[in-house]
Amino acid sequence: MSISSVADWAGVSVATVSRVLNGHANVRPETRERVMAAVESSGYRVNELARNLRTAESRLLLTMVPNVGNPFYAEVVRGIDSVARQHGYFMLLCDTGADPGRERSYFDLLRRRRADGAICLDPATIQQALAEESGALPWVACCEFDQAVGVPYVGIDNYRAAGDAVRHLLARGRRRIALINSGDGYLYAQQRQQGYLDALTEAGLTPDPRWLVNLDSLDYAAGAQAAAALASAGSIDDTPDAIFAVSDTLAIGVINGLRGAGRRVPDDVAVIGFDDIAVAAQIDPPLTTVSQPMQELGRTAARLLLQRLANPSATVPGVLLPHRLVIRSSA
């Protein structure tokens, strides 16, 4: 049941069927109706494999994400999906586990014409490699980005956001502020760390290296463990009186770990997170955090990519979306 059977059925040529299917002008209303009737009654559907070969586009957007299981990424993905759909594109979702090998093989989908463009949320270290080999392949960076890579991006000002978090803690009278970070590969992690460091020194404080922990993980459990370690490293006033975690998942784990160590939040130690995932408002105590516009981050990334696809030569800007400090009870 191909386009030619429909053509036969309607007593027209395949060209005409194609025209009405694609809503072209220059088809007599009468003919159009005849074709439509044939389409209806035959239950015909275009074979988009064929159409795509012919038009040389897949109408698929590739999304490469370290872990959809992380609520932050899941929301971003939803944002991408929503605007892709709106524009007649679908989303190929690839969970890379931030693994360079997997990442590269996924990215190859672009070269194989299985996707028209890609959105990458993976570590900047990987993105740099991608950019080198990618030639002019259409892709954009989302959330994690390196301005120097020269690829369109959307994200937030991680440096300032981290500074805002730390300054809030400072304003609340905290002085022994720890940072629980997610590790090196991510530029956002480095930027937040720098924001933390600078905010501290600007306040006349000397960052204590014992209180700067890098985890290489965003898991709840990792946060809990790290917090327990921090708390058990000394007496209550020789250990941090505040912890800034670079993600809400970590922060929630931190609160749990602190509880296990017998520390009260925020009385003994204040905790501030990052992202503002849905569950952050539900826990006890409700989490103070730096909110990112997760869905909008995804939507913008998709828009940038679509823009790039529509006009490959135009220079697409990098865009920074606003973050916002959401003060609840944990800090």
Residues in touch with DNA (CB under 7 A): 2-4, 11-16, 18-19, 21-22, 25-28, 30-32, 46-47, 50-51, 53-56
From the list DNA, a second copy, none, partner contacted by residue 234 (C-beta under 5 to 8 A by kind): none
Return the range that interacts with a second copy (CB under 8 A); candidates 34-42, 103-111, 156-164, 204-212. 103-111
- Closest to DNA by CB, 3 vs 80, is 3
Q: Would you count residue 45 as binding a second copy (CB under 8 A)?
A: yes
> Cβ of residue 15: shortest distance to DNA, in angstroms?
3
From the list DNA, a second copy, none, partner contacted by residue 95 (C-beta under 5 to 8 A by kind): a second copy
Torsion of CA 38, 40, 43, 44, to 10 degrees: 60
Provide the sign of the torsion angle of the four alpha carbons 208, 327, 75, 249, taken in this order.
Answer: positive
Report d(CA 157, CA 150) in Å as an integer.
17
Task: Give SS3 for 156.
Answer: strand
Residue choice 13, 41, 42, 47 for contact with a second copy (CB under 8 A)? 47
- Closest to a second copy by CB, 97 vs 150, is 97
Q: Would you count residue 120 as binding a second copy (CB under 8 A)?
A: no
> Cβ of residue 47: shortest distance to DNA, in angstroms?
3
Q: In which order are the strands placed within the sheet that holds 212-214?
A: 212-214, 177-181, 242-245, 270-275, 288-291, 324-326
> Cβ of residue 216: shortest distance to a second copy, in angstroms?
17
Q: Taking CB under 8 A as the rule, which mask of x and - marks residues 180-219 in contact with a second copy?
A: ---------------------------------------x
Residue numbers 71-100 binding a second copy by CB under 8 A: 71, 74-75, 77-78, 81-82, 85, 90-95
User: Number of residues in contact with a second copy, rule: CB under 8 A?
Assistant: 51
Q: Would you count residue 224 as binding a second copy (CB under 8 A)?
A: yes
User: What's the start-to-end Cα distance of the chain, in Å?
Assistant: 64
On whether the CB atoms of residues 70 and 218 are closer than 8 A, the answer is: yes
In the chain, helix, strand, coil percent, each to 5?
Answer: 50, 15, 35
Task: Give SS3 for 274.
Answer: strand
Residue choice 148, 233, 278, 327 for contact with a second copy (CB under 8 A)? 278
DSSP characters for 56-112? T---EEEEEES-TTSHHHHHHHHHHHHHHHHTT-EEEEEE-TT-HHHHHHHHHHHHT
From the list a second copy, DNA, none, partner contacted by residue 198 (C-beta under 5 to 8 A by kind): none
> Cβ of residue 98: shortest distance to a second copy, in angstroms?
14
Q: Would you count residue 53 as binding a second copy (CB under 8 A)?
A: yes
On whether the CB atoms of residues 162 and 173 are closer than 8 A, the answer is: no
Omega of the bond leading into 266 within 30 degrees of 0 (cis): yes
DSSP class of residue 271 equals E
Structure tokens belonging to residue 209: 């290296």
Report d(CA 253, CA 169) in Å as an integer.
19
Interface residues toward a second copy, by CB under 8 A: 45-50, 52-53, 56, 58, 60, 67-69, 71, 74-75, 77-78, 81-82, 85, 90-95, 102, 108-109, 111-114, 219-221, 224, 249, 252-253, 255-256, 259, 278-279, 281-284
